[in-house]
């Protein structure tokens, strides 16, 4: 929950600050990679964070996944998801899709509108859960709990804040909070001491994280927090709101190998995932029809 500062709490300080640079990916896609393979060990259990937008002619055609879960959160426009088993759905601005790839899924993702922007977070699975059955849950913006107090608004996609708790969760326990701080406001969010925690700044240029003595950090930066059980953030701007995602999760502490669309525990398991997809078996049976 969100809490005020007190002597019993240890405020997490910023240990790394990385700009997610805008780059082209394929034809018509613009992405910012907030988490790459370089940072996976530091940010266990998180594998990737991608801030994306597509032109209407772009998107990702049918492709497989295995071994992880993802959260897709739309900020603008909409994105169309299609699955080979015949399901199709659209998530729009403010909506969330939770997807467990597990033993294997095949899907496509294309924009619905010309102006679109979203984020996708990949969350690792413990080895004992990598091959669980795939599942999918989609939530409209109206279904996501939210709270507001003292100039701070939060959407609670996972976890709890300001006395509000989300009923939705991933297999690997995480916190996923969308904060908006009005000019001059501040928040102090409790986070389990053993969890990894980071923030991704969506809007604003005068956000101060960890300590009032810290330098302001601008939009599109990933801010990684060190040890502690409290994340403190101040919006020092007198005119602009600060919006950021606070994401935290319970580390798994197991070997991880990510190659393209697969996240597994060893290179042998990665090789097996590619083989299963080529041969349309062990979760990829529907690839025969693709």
The per-residue pLDDT for range 177-231, each reduced to its tens digit, is: 999 999 999 999 999 999 999 999 999 999 999 998 899 999 999 999 999 999 9
User: Cβ distance 207 to 234 under 8 Å?
Assistant: yes
Is 134 part of any domain?
A: yes
pLDDT of residue 7: 57
Q: Please report the pLDDT score of residue 5 as a whole number.
A: 47
User: What's 276's DSSP letter?
Assistant: H
61-67 mean pLDDT = 92
- Number of other residues whose CB lies within 10 A of the CB of residue 153: 18
Indicate the pLDDT class of residue 86, thresholds 50, 70 and 90. low
- Average pLDDT over the chain reads 92
Sign of CA dihedral 233, 204, 49, 138: positive
Residue 216 CB: number of other CB atoms within 10 A? 15
237 occurs within a structural domain: yes
**If you ran DSSP here, which 8-state letter would residue 141 be given?**
G
Q: pLDDT value at position 288?
A: 67
pLDDT band at 29 (very low <50, low <70, confident <90, very high): confident
Work out the burial of residue 60: count CB atoms within 10 Å of its CB; fewer than 13 is exposed, 13-18 middle, 19 or more buried: middle
Reference 123, options 2, 194, 35; nearest CA is: 35
**pLDDT-based confidence at residue 56 (cuts at 50, 70, 90):** confident
The mean pLDDT value for 17-43 works out to 91
Average pLDDT over every residue of 241-250: 98
Residue 234 has pLDDT above 60, yes or no: yes
**What is the value of pTM for the model shown?**
0.93
CATH of the domain at 134: 2.60.120.10
Geometric angle at alpha carbon 279, from 277 and 281, rounded to 5°? 70
Q: Has residue 74 been placed in a domain?
A: yes
pLDDT of residue 178: 98
**Distance between CA atoms of 132 and 134, rounded to whole angstroms?**
6
Average pLDDT of the segment spanning 100-123: 92
From the list 145, 147, 169, 150, the residue with the least C-alpha distance to 158 is 169
Strands ordered across the beta sheet of 242-249: 14-19, 221-225, 196-203, 242-249, 174-181, 152-158, 146-149
How far, in Å, CA of 111 to CA of 34, rounded?
Answer: 21
Give the Cβ contact number of residue 91 at 10 Å: 23
Number of domains into which the chain is organized: 1
Q: For the CA atoms of the chain, what is the radius of gyration?
A: 19
Q: What does the pLDDT average to over 100-110?
A: 92
Side-chain half-sphere CA neighbours of 15 within 13 A: 14
- State the pLDDT confidence band at 38, using cuts at 50, 70 and 90: confident
259 falls within a domain: no
Identify which of 27-36, 77-86, 139-148 has the greatest average pLDDT.
139-148
254 in any annotated domain = no
Establish if 276 belongs to a structural domain: no
Q: What is the pLDDT of residue 66?
A: 97
Is the pLDDT at 3 greater than 60, yes or no? Answer: no
Residue 26 has pLDDT above 80, yes or no: no
Residue 263 is predicted with a pLDDT of 97
Nearest one of 31, 13, 21 to 210, comparing CA atoms:
13
- To the nearest whole percent, how much of the chain has pLDDT over 90? 78
Helix locations, the chain, DSSP H: 267-278
Structural domain containing residue 105: 14-249
pLDDT exceeds cutoff 70 at 255: yes
Is residue 33 situated within a structural domain? yes
Instruction: Tell me the residue length of the chain.
Output: 290
Element (H, E) at 280: none
């Amino acid at each position: 929950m969100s809490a005020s500062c007190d002597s019993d709490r240890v405020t997490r300080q910023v240990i790394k600050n990385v700009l997610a640079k805008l780059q082209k990916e394929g034809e018509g896609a613009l992405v910012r990679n907030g988490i790459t393979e370089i940072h996976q060990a530091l940010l266990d259990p998180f594998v990737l964070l991608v801030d994306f937008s597509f032109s209407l002619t772009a998107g990702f055609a049918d492709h497989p996944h295995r071994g992880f879960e993802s959260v897709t959160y739309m900020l603008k426009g909409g994105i169309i998801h299609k699955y080979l088993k015949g399901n199709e759905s659209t998530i729009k601005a403010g909506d969330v899709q939770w997807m467990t790839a597990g033993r294997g899924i095949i899907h496509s993702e294309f924009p619905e509108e010309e102006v679109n922007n979203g984020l996708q977070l990949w969350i690792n699975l413990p080895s004992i859960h990598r091959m669980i059955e795939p599942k999918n849950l989609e939530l409209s913006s109206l279904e996501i709990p939210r709270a507001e107090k003292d100039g701070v608004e939060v959407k609670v996609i996972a976890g709890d804040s300001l006395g509000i708790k989300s009923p939705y969760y991933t297999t690997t326990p995480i916190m996923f909070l969308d904060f908006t701080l009005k000019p001059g406001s501040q928040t102090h969010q409790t986070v389990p001491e053993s969890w990894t925690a980071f923030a991704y700044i969506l809007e604003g240029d005068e956000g101060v994280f960890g300590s009032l003595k810290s330098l302001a950090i601008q939009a599109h930066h990933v801010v990684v927090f060190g040890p502690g059980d409290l994340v403190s953030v101040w919006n020092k701007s007198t005119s602009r709101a600060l919006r950021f995602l606070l994401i935290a999760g319970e580390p798994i502490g197991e070997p991880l190998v990510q190659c393209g669309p697969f996240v597994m525990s060893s290179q042998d398991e990665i090789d097996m995932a590619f083989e299963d997809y080529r041969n349309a078996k062990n979760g990829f049976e529907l690839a025969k029809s693709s």
